[in-house]
Structure 1
Amino acid sequence: MAQPTGTKNDQAEISKKHSHISVQRYFEISLLLMLATGFVTVATTGKLDLISTVVVTGALVLKLSSYAREKDYSLAPRAVTRLSVFYIFFYALDFLIFSPGPAPLDHMLQATVHLVLFTTVIKIFSARKYRDYAYLASLSFLMMLASAVLTVATTYLACFAAYVLFSISTFISYEIKRATETSARAPEGPFQTPGQNRVSIEKALFKTALGLALGIAALAAVLFFVIPRYRTGYLTSLGTQSQSITGFSESVNLGDIGKILRSSAVVMRVTVTGNPRAFQGVKWRGVGLTSFDGQHWYLDNTEQFPVTPVSYEQFLLEPPEGWQNRPRRLVRYRVLLSPLSTDVLFVAAVPRELSGHLRLLNLDQTDSLHNPQRTGSPLAYDAVSDVALPPPAALRRARTDYPTEIRVVYLSLPKFDPRVRDLAAQVSASATNNYDRAVAIQNHLRDNFGYTLDPPAIDSRDPIGSFLFKARKGYCEYFAAAMVVMLRTLEVPARLVNGFQTGTYNRVGKDFVVRTRDAHSWVEAYFPQYGWVPFDPTPADPNPVLPGLLDDYVDAVGLFWNEWVINYDFAHQVELAREVDQDSRLFQKEARRGLRNFQGKGARLAFRVERWLMSHKLLVLLMMLAILGSLTASEKGLSISELRFLWAWRFGRRDLTLRPREATLTYLRFLRVLEKKGFRKAPSQTPQEFALSFGGSPLGLGVFEFTRLYNRLRFGHSPVSLARLKALLSDIVRGSVSR
């Protein structure tokens, strides 16, 4: 039955309407996800206050949930106007009262950020025009741009990937939406139901967006590593907020290190050259502190001396006192330092060379290194250090005639509990030299005191005395401070050093991950002719934190992100090109070697095959005949069962009986013989009808008997003698009757 034209046009209009609704819905969801990704990226930088984060997050979740519930959560124009007028007055209160900051400009900046976020929330629930959509899309882009300046965390990579996907999805659906609205041509059938229409459109758009995003990511990765890079340092002053870390300034309260020992934030990652086991036990030296007033450690002379570079961003450090009397053990490593609230550079033992993104390098009186141009970005530098220590026998023979400047600074003592002096003398009573005295105090503190992050009964007015005689438990800073004071009471110059322990070796990233919980304090004692020698009186932590394999993978991703993305520059490009060239040459070399090995193995195999063939000529001849027969049979279309039948027919024993499945092959041979004599069986004839058609022919009896035996073999499953069938067929062949 013919369908009226109007009905088809109505279906077209309905389909167009449903298509527009589906595209509009997909476009709005993509735009909101694009905006949400930008906001989450900014929120992860820690720059937004809690109230703003909660309000905007709640608005985004509420709006997105409306699509799942198929409800319209929108603000009427009148409500938008009233809220906007209200916020004009609230902005003044926000600027004057609510927004924090040390200066009026900071108040205005915070209030303006709140204004932008308020406008965003309003637009989320009132966007109806293209300019509203453009505002939200532009704001999401600005959020991603600001986050790129404010953070260097690996979370930005995940957020950026999601943002690219949602932005592509948004702009594709926007173009389709606009084309649908301006299209004058009605869509053609077949027409889907509204539900099918929405699902198919959303699936198609998402697959397209995902494919484009993956293609863009692949192309962008290639361009990122290939395009020449130049590190300018623009906008670094607006960079990430430095990680707050205590214990590495010119003045430190005794106990400050304990504030960061509970944190697991990554301070630096160290990639070493050579066997990583050689670095086990190596400490990353930070700052040395000379003077103690009973509660604070500090530098009595804060003057820093610039180190002259030998070339651009490369420094050679003067060898320390007594270096000519010490053995040599140089180690090379690369440090990727996170943004910290200190200008101290962390190195192993005695640094000899330093290079990296450092235009200035300073040295203080304790041989600690400082970066006066510290920024909020991660810092990468390569270093060579001498980690060898003088042998104990040499230190036992060291002189005790200390220079005046050493005695004045490193033998000074505050007012302290007199029992500390008595304890030091008691512990070192059997020692005859300063080295053995230092070792005796170190071992006494290790063996008789406990390690804990919550030391009990520490009196802030006398922390050393209360630690040694009351608490008898504490963490590294108390142990090191107590040893320094005890050594000074014995006229052994000593100082406190703050830094980090070796860290945890990452089996995946092949680097040492140093966290704030690895912060450590130890002691350096002075020996004339040999310089400063480290001692560590702190016992091992009874509950060390051991990372799992998942932690290693996460840290490895962080290392790659910071090293090859955040700090990627022309030097990295040169290194990458060198590695690619080396790998390609190595691949070519291995390929040529593999080809030569393959050719050699092939020649040896051919020689062995030749020898075998020459010694088994008859077997080879039979195999060739068998193969030739198989090829001939395959050309004629003969199967294995047919070949077996032919063999049995020609060479079988006379008493052999045929099986039922060979009946057809026998009958086909029978038909070919009759066909040569002019008797062709019609396709419609049964074997019995064909045999009866011979009537009184001289061949009739033979044909009838052969057919009877065939039927008995085929359908009666009764064995039939091969000799009998061959005899009947021979009689038929010798017959002279023609049709």
Structure 2
Amino acid sequence: MKVSQALSLFTHLIALIGFFTICVSGQVGVLGITIFLSSLFLSYINERYRKQYYLDQRFVTLLAFALLLYAFLSIVVFGKDAFNVILTFLIYTQVIKLLGRKDMRDYIQIFILSFFHFLAGTILTVDFSYVLAFVVYVSVALWAIIVLSMRKESIEASSNDDPRVVTPLFLSSTVIISFGIFAFTALMFVSIPRLKSGFLTSAFIRPEALKTGFSNEVKLGQVGEIKLDSSPVMRVKILNSDPESLPETIYWRGIALDHFDGTTWRASDTDYKMYKSDPEGVIRVKENGGRVLVQEIVTEPLDTDVIFAGSLPVGFKGIAGGRLAEFNDSYVLPVKLSYRLKYTAYSDLSNPRPRDLRQEKNKYPALIKRHYLQLPPMDERISELAREITKLDSNPYDQAVSVKRYLVTNMGYTRTLPPGTGEFPLEDFLFESKAGHCEYFATAMVMLLREVGIPARIVNGFVGGEWNEYGNFFLVRESNAHSWVEVYFPESGWVIFDP
């Protein structure tokens, strides 16, 4: 094979592999895949058979300018997710480079763009196919760099010769070298210790600058400004439903907390219940109530053992070891998530009708009353307020609606926590500042309901996310962390209320 032919082949291969690592993540839609592969094929035909199906250079310049303008407006003006916009920019910049005439500088730019595609794949992909792509990418990249150097030297020497130096021996020897590099890199990765983010956090972030995020407990009364963090925490791909049929708001449930001491919510000591996977590999934790949402969830390392799922989880699949523990309807792994985790969750989206909830009696099991009617010592005004809000209601559902309405109407949402809320944060929220974030609203609703004998609890997790219509998934960020309320009904079970 001549050097020029080898350069063309390896250039298009490395562009294809870089793009493949993005495709397997589901981040690119059918249209994007079609455009890229068509451009790649046309570019290779042009070089292999010396065709002239190139874009005019002026048109290439115009397209590049349009891409830059798109990226700028999307991020700065419309506030779209920067990662997705930059990824789109990189993909279509590669398309433009492939469709234009190429000199040595263009080949180098195609290599660089493919490398950025590959890095994006590292962020997006957890499939085993990425490991295979890594090995192939390293091999092809090594071939491409060597051949590019040879071609460059030939051009600089003003030689018209195009020697046949790319032999099977050359290819096989570089493959062996590539595997050696891969093995050495893997060995270094697992053997050299790496710094944990906790060191950097404690060293460089001031304690009063709180950051939103999921936690296994909720503590009120911390003074400071809550900083929104846009770091991704998980990607939730919907496998069995159109976006139009999804609920307007989706809650990614984490952990339910039942014990409040006046400042801090925790899960009280309770017996764990262990669940094992069935012969189909599914861990069934509850009976399916009707409408089931199937989700493929990929989580970043969150320093928690909690497993997330939409609304009310009824089953999980793909959990390593096939075991989960349950307490308070929260599901946990044997160890904390110090690595990316990919699994399938099944959730019941059935919502009982208000008229059915109004007919339910307020007769609760002893276990429910023991855990979910607990009250800490509090200001008597809270009990008086609860009775005043619900005095016209004849059933628990309407009482819950009245409490929610009162909080939404009379309290304001703020991320800047006022001073002086350390010792009695709930009392200060209800009677003094009348402003707080979701944890204050949820805490107030639970305490007011418990004061009138209605079992309730606070839930920590995430809400919503950025919908990606091409990949059919939600991108959930730290800033989507949220606390809400679940109210118990004897026949319907736990029902979500979000004040």
Please give the TM-score of this superposition, normalised by the length of structure 1: 0.41
Structure 2 residue aligned with 1:463, among 425, 447, 459?
A: 425
1:153 aligns with 2:123: yes
1:503 aligns with 2:469: no
Residues 457 and 466 of structure 1 are in contact (CA less than 8 Å); yes or no, is this contact kept in structure 2? no
Give CA deviations for 1:580-611 in whole Å, capped at 9, x if unaligned: xxxxxxxxxxxxxxxxxxxxxxxxxxxxxxxx
Change (3 A) 1:317 1:161: same
CA distance in 1, matches of 2:265, 2:450: 14
**1:420 Cα deviation (Å)?**
1.6
1:200 aligns with 2:156: yes
1:251-400 correspondence to structure 2 within 5 Å: 251-254=217-220, 262-272=228-238, 273-279=240-246, 280-301=248-269, 303-311=271-279, 313-319=281-287, 328-400=290-362
**1:524 Cα deviation (Å)?**
0.8
Structure 2 residue aligned with 1:484, among 427, 446, 460?
A: 446
What secondary structure sits across from 2:393 in the alignment? Answer: coil
Query: Which structure: larger Rg?
Result: 1
What secondary structure sits across from 2:417 in the alignment? Answer: coil
CA distance in 2, matches of 1:424, 1:236: 59
Aligned to 2:492: 530
1:406 aligns with 2:359: no
CA distance in 1, matches of 2:276, 2:340: 23
Give CA deviations for 1:210-233 in whole Å, capped at 9, x if unaligned: x99xxx9xxx9xxxxxxxxxxxxx
Structure with greater proportional helix content: 1
**1:434 Cα deviation (Å)?**
1.1
Q: In structure 1, what residue type is equivalent to 2:330?
A: S
Which ranges of structure 2 fall in alignment gaps of 5 or more residues? 1-114, 176-188, 202-210
1:598-613 correspondence to structure 2 within 5 Å: none
Change (3 A) 1:310 1:161: closer
Aligned to 1:572: none
Change (3 A) 1:398 1:247: farther
Count of paired positions: 343
CA distance in 2, matches of 1:489, 1:251: 22
Q: In structure 2, what residue type is equivalent to 1:153?
A: I
Residues 242 and 339 of structure 1 are in contact (CA less than 8 Å); yes or no, is this contact kept in structure 2? no
Structure with greater proportional strand content: 2
**1:464 Cα deviation (Å)?**
0.7
Q: In structure 1, what residue type is equivalent to 2:242?
A: N
Q: Which has the higher contact order (CA 8 A, sep 6+)?
A: 2
Residues 233 and 299 of structure 2 are in contact (CA less than 8 Å); yes or no, is this contact kept in structure 1? yes
Change (3 A) 1:167 1:338: same
Q: In structure 2, what residue type is equivalent to 1:270?
A: V
CA distance in 1, matches of 2:371, 2:262: 15
Residues 454 and 487 of structure 2 are in contact (CA less than 8 Å); yes or no, is this contact kept in structure 1? yes
CA distance in 2, matches of 1:444, 1:410: 21
Aligned to 1:570: none
What secondary structure sits across from 1:307 in the alignment? Answer: strand
CA distance in 2, matches of 1:284, 1:440: 25
What secondary structure sits across from 2:476 in the alignment? Answer: strand
Residues 373 and 454 of structure 2 are in contact (CA less than 8 Å); yes or no, is this contact kept in structure 1? yes
CA distance in 1, matches of 2:310, 2:290: 14
Change (3 A) 1:490 1:516: same
CA distance in 2, matches of 1:154, 1:530: 39
**1:397 Cα deviation (Å)?**
1.8
CA RMSD of aligned residues (A): 4.4
Residues 325 and 334 of structure 2 are in contact (CA less than 8 Å); yes or no, is this contact kept in structure 1? no
CA distance in 2, matches of 1:428, 1:470: 21
Q: What percentage of aligned pairs have identical amino acids?
A: 33
What secondary structure sits across from 2:315 in the alignment? Answer: strand
Give CA deviations for 1:217-271 in whole Å, capped at 9, x if unaligned: xxx9xxxxxxxxxxxxx95997996899976554432378998760011111111
CA distance in 2, matches of 1:338, 1:315: 22
Please give the TM-score of this superposition, normalised by the length of structure 2: 0.59
Q: In structure 2, what residue type is equivalent to 1:470?
A: E
1:518-597 correspondence to structure 2 within 5 Å: 518-537=480-499
What secondary structure sits across from 2:278 in the alignment? Answer: strand
Change (3 A) 1:457 1:375: closer
**1:295 Cα deviation (Å)?**
0.9
Change (3 A) 1:278 1:356: same
CA distance in 1, matches of 2:154, 2:223: 60
What secondary structure sits across from 1:311 in the alignment? Answer: coil
Residues 223 and 422 of structure 2 are in contact (CA less than 8 Å); yes or no, is this contact kept in structure 1? no
CA distance in 1, matches of 2:234, 2:221: 22
Residues 349 and 385 of structure 1 are in contact (CA less than 8 Å); yes or no, is this contact kept in structure 2? yes
1:123-202 correspondence to structure 2 within 5 Å: 152-153=122-123, 200=156
CA distance in 1, matches of 2:476, 2:223: 15
Residues 494 and 525 of structure 1 are in contact (CA less than 8 Å); yes or no, is this contact kept in structure 2? yes
Q: In structure 2, what residue type is equivalent to 1:420?
A: I
Change (3 A) 1:308 1:257: farther
